[in-house]
Chain A
Amino acid sequence: MGRGNSIALVLLVLAVAGLPFVTTGSYTLTVGIFSGINALVAIGLCVLMGSAGQVSLGQAGFYGIGAYVSSVLSIKFGLPVALSMIAAMAVASAAAALLAVPALRLKGHYLAVATLGFGEIINVILNEWGPGGPSGFGDIPHLSLFGYTLSSTTSNFYFIWLCVAAGLVFSLNILNSMTGRSLRAIHGSETASIAMGLDIVALKIKVFVLSAIYASLAGALYAHYVTFISPSSFNLFYSVLALMMVVLGGITNVWGGVVGAVIITILPELLRKFEEFDVLVYGLILTLSLLFLRKGLVPLLIEKAARLKGGTDARA
């Protein structure tokens, strides 16, 4: 997995484990929870964009499927939450495969357009047929594992960041495996990849499905933590926000997804003091960051670090 990644992972685990001890109350932890949920979505999107070079404008659709399917199964059918979360991920991956098969046969931006349409369709469906319609519904049970119910903020915080860490390790493993090399190869030269006998359509579909699984897991975690969901949390704005996290953090490194998600989640909290001006400051910060960070924060920092070290191996 690389020394850089291992060190970063250890630091992350220490930070997550330590945070509840240095903060009072649950406000910071709640911010942390939403950061973690967003980070999951962003990691999936990062793998999709950074390695397969595809753009999705429909992650909110999978995020919504995760939240709704898991909630409905646990409320209406009385399924244990853990089970309904897994079912939700299965439904989301099926939907992703169905969408990707026709979309990925086409070249260029079609996945972006197709996912945009898909996300909007899911939102219409949630509005029309989702329980509670546009008003949404509440009283969703918390996640229970081995007889322990995650109702406190701290327990949710730990569990969600456990998922993030697992998701990170999983995707780092993939990227550093044969599969990951194939994906990077596709990004490098599609012609050569085909000539090497790589099944690029199948690989792209798989990555897309993977990104959908991450998003749906995040959606399910969201639903069982907040215990209330409505379609407005799963619309195009969220898809765009997810894209923003990834681009801001840097698409070429999965850590970029995590960093971008944390920044995008914390930023509005930091800007509360600006009251209504926050929209302006927020827009300004986004514009400037994109203009001047370009490759994204994480790749930029790695580059800097490498230069400090004297230009040895820059790649984590």
Chain B
Amino acid sequence: MRFGKIMLSVVMSVMFVSLLFVTAGAAGKEPIKIGAILSVTGPASFLGEPEKNTLVMLQDQINKAGGIRGANLQVIIEDSKSDETQAVLAAKKLLEKDNVVAIVGPSTTGESMALVPIMNAAKTPLVSCAAGAPITNPVSEREWIFKTPQYDTSAVEAIYTYMKKHGITKVGIITIATGFGDAGKKALHEIAPKMGMTIVAEEKYGPKDSDMTTQLTKIKAAGAQAVINWSVGPGQVVVTKNWHDLKMGIPLYQSHGWGSKKNIELAGKAAEGVIAPLGRLVVWDKLSDKHPQKALLKKFESDYKALYKSEPGTFGGHAYDSLMMVVEAIKKVGPDKKKIRDYLETGITKMPGTGGVYTMSAKDHCGLDAGAFEMVVVKNGDWEILK
């Protein structure tokens, strides 16, 4: 019992100390505060991790270069644990305790959707790092919401266009049973009739599944001319290995989630010949020097690699674009919520980012042109742009 008493007090004091931490946070000389809500942990941490790294790196770079309008930039990052409830709480905290002028993120479509009513009510701009179309559409009801990632349909269009050129019209799709895979599945279905493609088989798997040969066997039996796998995380490597083992004789296409060298390492030989639509971030060294994105991509990727010994990937790029857009706005109009929002809508024209070249408008709060993707194949353990 005495031990129990001691421990009780230990537990209590830990709680109490953490409470002190919370209240002792703020103070100092007026930095410009931008909030970020990212899935740093939880099932979507493959997004939140590079996004968080990117924001931390950019904050340091900007402050070393003198900050914004003479003030330091402070990016307050909150972990949403890949959970909508936590995202809502984080948003309230950032808006009220930290008085941020804008929020970057969240990482997933679901969490972004959960924040729409909150941001509209708080009249604070949100630049989401998630791709789902309903985040910014309809724009009339999403006045304060923007996003930087390409629509999934753009990636699908890139794949279908390339397929058509090579005479493929019947595809089998296999998607991960999460929001990411589901959004891909919807996009694949939506664009198919317009592009004259037929989806002959549609399969799914769980994010932690260890074997997908059953699904791939079914796709092949359905007479598909190609497989499209829409997923992120270990699943895409397992699919690649299974595809290789089965010697399916039809090409494997991956989503834009494929864009990390890590995947090639993990899949080894099996990755050879896998095709995917990737943002230019992973293939910047293969772009011509005149390309508007090249200089920016080169700097971002090499800085990130030097700092974190890993790649930022497409998703780190989303955070880059979201933050830089807000920073650009603050530079021009100052830290005022309404002015930032207006600038994001009208001022962002032909702005190069990692995801493409952005032009926002009152009708389009994403502002990416088609053609943000390059079709890239894995060859000799490296990326190669397909013409």
Contact = CB atoms under 8 A, between A and B. Distances in A.
The short answer to whether A and B are in direct contact, CB under 8 Å, is: yes
Interface of A: 24-27, 30-31, 34, 127, 132-136, 138, 222, 226-230, 232-233, 267-276, 278-279, 281, 285, 288-289, 291-294, 300
A177 B178 CA distance: 46
Contact of A31 (B4, B89, B109, B113): B89
B178 A226 contact: no
Interface stretch (B8-16, B218-226, B249-257, B357-365): B8-16
Contact of A134 (B78, B81, B86, B181): B181
A30 B88 contact: yes
Contacts, number: 120
A24 B92 CA distance: 12
Contact of B114 (A24, A228, A267): A228
B93 A281 contact: no
Interface stretch (B17-25, B289-297, B310-318, B336-344): B17-25
Contacts of A228: 84, 110, 113-114, 116
A276 B79 contact: yes
A281 B88 CA distance: 22
A228 B181 CA distance: 19
Contacts of B78: 272
A292 B3 contact: yes
Interface residues of B, number: 48
B89 A285 contact: no
B43 interface: yes
Task: Name the residue in B78, B109, B116 with the highest tally of chain A Cβ atoms < 10 Å from its Cβ.
Answer: B109
Nearest to B115: A228
Contacts of A25: 92, 95-97
Considering the complex of A and B, which 4 residue pairs feature the smallest CB-CB distances, nearest first? A25-B96, A292-B7, A273-B21, A27-B92
B338 to A, nearest CB: 19
Given A274-B18, A276-B41, A293 B8 contact: yes
Contact of B92 (A30, A133, A274, A281): A30
Contact of A226 (B40, B79, B85): B85
A177 to B, nearest CB: 34
Interface majority SS (helix, strand, loop, mixed), chain B: helix
Contact of B85 (A132, A135, A233, A272): A233
Interface of B: 3-4, 7-8, 10-11, 14-15, 18-19, 21-22, 25, 40-41, 43, 77-79, 81-86, 88-89, 92-93, 95-97, 109-110, 113-114, 116-117, 132, 134, 177-179, 181-183, 185-186
A286 to B, nearest CB: 10
B88 A138 contact: no
16 contacts: A27-B93, A27-B96, A27-B97, A30-B92, A135-B182, A138-B134, A227-B114, A228-B84, A228-B114, A233-B83, A270-B22, A272-B93, A276-B41, A281-B18, A292-B3, A293-B11
A228 B91 CA distance: 15
Contact of A285 (B14, B81, B114, B183): B14
Contacts of B97: 25, 27
B84 A134 contact: no
B257 to A, nearest CB: 15
A99 to B, nearest CB: 23
A273 B40 contact: no
A210 B18 CA distance: 37
B82 A273 contact: no
Given A25-B92, A30-B88, A270-B19, 16 more contacts: A27-B93, A31-B92, A134-B179, A135-B132, A135-B186, A136-B113, A226-B88, A227-B117, A230-B179, A232-B84, A232-B178, A232-B179, A233-B84, A273-B22, A276-B41, A285-B11
Contacts of B113: 136, 138, 228
Interface majority SS (helix, strand, loop, mixed), chain A: helix
A136 B95 CA distance: 25
B130 to A, nearest CB: 10
Task: Name the residue in B7, B11, B77, B181 with the highest tally of chain A Cβ atoms < 10 Å from its Cβ.
Answer: B11
Contacts of A269: 22, 89, 93
B96 A26 contact: yes
Nearest to A152: B121
A288 B10 contact: yes
Task: Name the residue in A273, A281, A293 with the highest tally of chain B Cβ atoms < 10 Å from its Cβ.
Answer: A273
Contacts of A134: 177-179, 181-182
A267 B96 CA distance: 19
A300 B8 CA distance: 10
Nearest to A227: B117
Contact of B18 (A227, A230, A271): A271
B250 to A, nearest CB: 26
B262 to A, nearest CB: 20
Given A24-B96, A228-B114, A281-B18, A135 B109 contact: yes
Given A274-B18, A292-B7, A232 B83 contact: yes
A285 B15 contact: yes
Nearest to B90: A272
Contacts of A279: 41
Contacts of A138: 113-114, 116, 134
B11 A288 contact: yes
B225 to A, nearest CB: 26
B349 to A, nearest CB: 30
Contacts of B132: 135
Contacts of B18: 270-271, 273-274, 281
Contacts of A34: 85, 89
A107 to B, nearest CB: 32
